[in-house]
Amino acid sequence: MASGSRPGEGHNGRLTPSSSASDACGSTSRKEWEQHGVRTAEKLLREFYPHSAWGQTQLRLLQSLCLLATREKANVEAALGTFIEMAQAEKDSVPALLAMAQAYMLLKQVPKARTQLKRLAKAPWALAEAEDLEKSWLLLADIYCQGSKFDLASELLRRCVQYNKARSAPPSGRVGFGDERGSDRLSLQSCCKAYEYMGFIMEREQSYKDAATNYELAWKYSHHANPTIGKAARPGASPYLYSPCPGTGFRLAFNYLKDKRFVEAIEVCHNVLREHPHYPKIREEILEKAQGSLRP
C-alpha cells in the first residue's frame, strides 16, 4: 500500500478490493450478511404500527434507510425523495439531512452531499443527535480529505474526538475512552475513524511520528480488529451505518517503520499476520524491512 493512501484506498488512490481469495469470500459473506440484515429489518418494520406522528416519521425514515441499504439506484432515489420531503417538513432535522447526504454520496452527487453536510456542521450539538452529527462530521471530513482540504477536515475530526470525550466520560466526571461505565460502541467507532483520518493527514504531511500516534489510538479503539484501513467505511459502501471500526494495522506498522520504530512495527505485523496469515504486502513491505533494519 502506498504511503498516504486515504482510508480505504489502494496504491493508485482508488478503492480496490483485495486480490486474495479469502478476502473475496469475506466480501461475499459480508454482502450476504448485510442483505439478510436488510430483509430482517424490513420484516420487523412491517410489524410496527406507530400511532403518534413522531413514530410514523421514524417509521418512514427507517423504511427509507432500508431502501438505501440495498444500494440499488432506483431504491436510493426513492429513499432520497422521502428524505427530501422529511427535511422540508422539518427544516433542521439532523437524521433527514444526514440521510440525504448519504443518498447523494451513493448516487455520486458529492457537491449536493457536501451542501447538506455543511448545514449539519453548523448545527448545535445535542446528546440525542450526537451519533448522527458525528457521522456527518466524519463523512464531510472524508470529502475534504478527497479534495486535500486537510485543515477543514482536521477541524471536524478534532470536534468529533472532543465530543466523544464528553460523551464517553464516566459518571465521576473523569474523561477516559474505553471506560465501561461511560462509553458506548458507536462512540468508540467514531473516535477510531477520527483518529484514523488524522493519521492519514499526518502521513500525507510526512509527519510519521504524529501519524503513528493517531494510528495507535485508532488501532487501540478498534481492538486490533482489522489489518488495514477503511474497507467497511469506504465511500459507496454503507455510509449510513458504521460497521465495526476499520482497523489500522498496516498503516500503523508502516508509520512505525518510517519513524524507525522497528520493534513496534514488527509487533504490529505479527498481530496482523496472526489473524490474517496471507494478508498482502505487509510481510515483504514492512515486516522484512523492519527485521533487516535490526540486524547488525
Among all chains, which residue has been given the C-alpha cell 478534532? 158
What class has domain 23-123? mainly alpha
Which fold, 124-296?
A: 1.25.40
Of 137, 84, 133, nearest to 114 (Cα)? Answer: 137
Burial class (CB in 10 A: 0-12, 13-18, 19+), 23: middle
The reply to whether 23-123 and 124-296 are identical in fold is yes
Residue 63 has which C-alpha cell?
423504511
Helices 21-46 and 53-70, axial angle in degrees (round to 10) = 150
Three-state secondary-structure class, residue 160: helix
Domain ranges of the chain: 23-123, 124-296
* pTM for the model: 0.77
Judge whether 211 and 3 are in contact, CB under 8 Å: no
- Give the pLDDT of the chain (296 residues) as one tens digit per residue: 444 556 655 433 333 323 344 444 455 676 777 778 888 888 888 887 888 988 999 999 999 999 999 999 999 999 999 999 999 999 889 999 999 999 999 999 999 999 999 999 999 999 899 999 999 999 999 999 999 999 999 999 999 999 887 666 544 443 333 333 334 555 677 888 999 999 999 999 999 999 999 999 998 887 766 565 433 333 333 333 333 333 478 999 999 999 999 999 999 999 999 888 888 889 999 999 999 999 87
- One-letter amino acid for residue 19 of the chain: S
Q: How many helices (H) and strands (E) does the chain have?
A: 13, 0
Half-sphere exposure of 32 (CA within 13 A, CB side): 6
Of 153, 116, 122, nearest to 138 (Cα)? Answer: 153
